[in-house]
């Protein structure tokens, strides 16, 4: 059955933050999200494209989605993976010339997510059931609390424990003293046993990374995410060989060949494509099935649709990892839609409704539009 796409619409959401979210490269001052809605034969699906950085990314995204519209209208939504790989191949040359594989993949990711939601509604089945062979789906997936430090360490750790979460990820790369204050702050609240991961957002040079991975490992940090500037597989392999560090990464990798190369890294414990940014649902699912030992733990720092997409992906993955749950305020994730929630055991039940399983609240959406 063919499903010719007949509409593409976008909605820009923003929500002011009471407190900035510090990152090792730049603070996030406002929550932003661009929802992408694709229609075919009277059915619609909604996805999200990542526009966290830079602050004007939403303007670029509107233009890019507008540019992609003529390629989408009339295209077949029945096989999203084939549609996305076809579009990526067709646009590869122009993206290279533009120097913008990132923005292009980010736009395609939002479209792809919308098409999977649409397809779920057409078939009356959750996205997780449509991925892979449709049999290896979990009913719940574990979530860790993300975004702890360098500010709000005790408060955010307490929030994670109150939610029942069974692991935490700290932000590092702010200098040794600050990073050690963060890990000590987490341990002071959560004790020595809680699994803790560390995300450097590519802040370290090789020598600093070797030192910090060794120092933080003494505090029981279980994985090191994007430890190196550039994050080239050879450099990561050298870091892992020198320190024994388990590596996580993938939120800034674009295209199937680059992910395939990353997956050859023996020290890669978790691969982290982002369904709203780098890989949509189609390529994220493919990455999770590539040869290797890394578990699929998608990057998720966006709204409700991205979190839902992550949950479906991990539920269907042959090597399921963790769901990233940002602990800081984000009404674009928590308030605009129902259908997703964390159980008291720290697991997120996989939505059983069609598509991504979200129901948007029109009034709340309008308020943030
Ligand atoms: Mg990260």
The answer to whether position 67 is within a domain reads: yes
How much is the pLDDT for 26? 79
Residue 275 Cα to ligand 1 midpoint, Å, equals 14
Q: Name the domain count of the chain.
A: 2
> Among 6, 33, 11, 277, which Cα is nearest to 118's?
6
The answer to whether position 253 is within a domain reads: yes
Q: Is the pLDDT of residue 318 over 70?
A: yes
Of the three residues 92, 125, 158, the one that is the final residue of a domain is 125
User: 157 with 338: CB under 8 angstroms?
Assistant: no
The answer to whether position 219 is within a domain reads: yes
Residue 42 Cα to ligand 1 midpoint, Å, equals 38
Instruction: Provide the 10 A C-beta neighbour count for residue 130.
Output: 20
User: 251 with 277: CB under 8 angstroms?
Assistant: yes
> Do 144 and 91 sit in the same domain of this protein?
no
The answer to whether position 368 is within a domain reads: no
- Give the range of the structural domain holding residue 81, as residue numbers without chain letter: 7-125
Band (pLDDT 50/70/90 cuts) for residue 21 is: confident
Mean predicted confidence (pLDDT) in 80-101? 95
Band (pLDDT 50/70/90 cuts) for residue 17 is: confident
Residue 363 Cα to ligand 1 midpoint, Å, equals 32
The answer to whether position 100 is within a domain reads: yes
C-alpha span between 297 and 346 (Å, rounded)? 15
The answer to whether position 130 is within a domain reads: no
For residue range 329-344, list pLDDT tens digits in order. 999 999 999 999 999 8
> Do 348 and 228 sit in the same domain of this protein?
yes
Residues whose Cβ atom is located within 5 A of ion ligand 1: 199, 225
User: 5 with 38: CB under 8 angstroms?
Assistant: yes
For residue range 265-300, list pLDDT tens digits in order. 999 999 999 999 999 999 999 999 999 999 999 999
Give Rg (Cα) of the chain.
19
For residue range 128-172, list pLDDT tens digits in order. 999 987 766 799 999 999 999 999 999 999 999 999 999 999 999
Element (DSSP H or E) covering residue 195: none
Residue 129 Cα to ligand 1 midpoint, Å, equals 28
Residue 161 Cα to ligand 1 midpoint, Å, equals 21
The CATH number that applies at residue 194 is 3.20.20.120
């Amino acid at each position: 059955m063919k499903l010719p796409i007949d509409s593409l619409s976008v909605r820009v959401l923003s929500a002011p933050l009471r407190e900035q979210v510090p990152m090792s490269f730049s603070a996030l001052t406002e929550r932003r999200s661009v929802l992408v809605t694709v229609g075919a034969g009277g059915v619609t699906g909604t996805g999200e494209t990542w526009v966290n950085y830079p602050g004007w990314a939403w303007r670029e995204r509107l233009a890019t989605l507008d540019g992609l519209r003529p390629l989408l209208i009339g295209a077949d939504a029945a096989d999203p993976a084939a549609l996305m790989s076809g579009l990526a191949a067709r646009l590869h040359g122009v993206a290279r010339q533009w120097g913008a594989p990132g923005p292009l993949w980010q736009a395609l990711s939002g479209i792809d997510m919308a098409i999977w939601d649409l397809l779920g509604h057409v078939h009356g089945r959750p996205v997780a059931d449509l991925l892979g062979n449709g049999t290896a789906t979990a009913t719940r997936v574990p979530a860790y609390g993300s975004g702890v430090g360098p500010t709000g360490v005790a408060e955010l750790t307490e929030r994670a424990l109150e939610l029942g979460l069974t692991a935490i990820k700290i932000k590092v790369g702010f200098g040794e003293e600050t990073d050690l204050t963060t890990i000590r702050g987490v341990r002071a609240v959560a004790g020595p046993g809680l699994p803790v991961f560390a995300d450097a957002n590519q802040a370290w040079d090789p020598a600093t990374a070797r030192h910090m991975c060794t120092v933080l490992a003494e505090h029981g940090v279980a994985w090191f995410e994007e430890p190196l500037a550039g994050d080239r597989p050879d450099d990561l392999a050298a870091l892992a060989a020198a320190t024994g560090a388990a590596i996580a990464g993938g939120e800034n990798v674009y295209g199937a060949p680059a992910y395939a190369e990353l997956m050859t890294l023996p020290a890669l414990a978790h691969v982290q494509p982002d369904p709203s940014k780098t890989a949509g649902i189609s390529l994220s699912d493919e990455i999770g099935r590539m040869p290797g030992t890394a578990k699929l733990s998608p990057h998720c720092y966006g709204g409700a649709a991205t979190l839902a997409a992550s949950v479906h992906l991990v539920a269907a993955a042959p090597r399921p990892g963790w769901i990233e749950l940002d602990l800081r305020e984000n009404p674009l994730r928590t308030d605009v839609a129902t259908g997703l929630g964390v159980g008291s055991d720290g697991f997120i039940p996989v939505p059983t409704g069609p598509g991504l399983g979200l129901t948007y609240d029109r009034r709340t959406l309008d308020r943030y539009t």
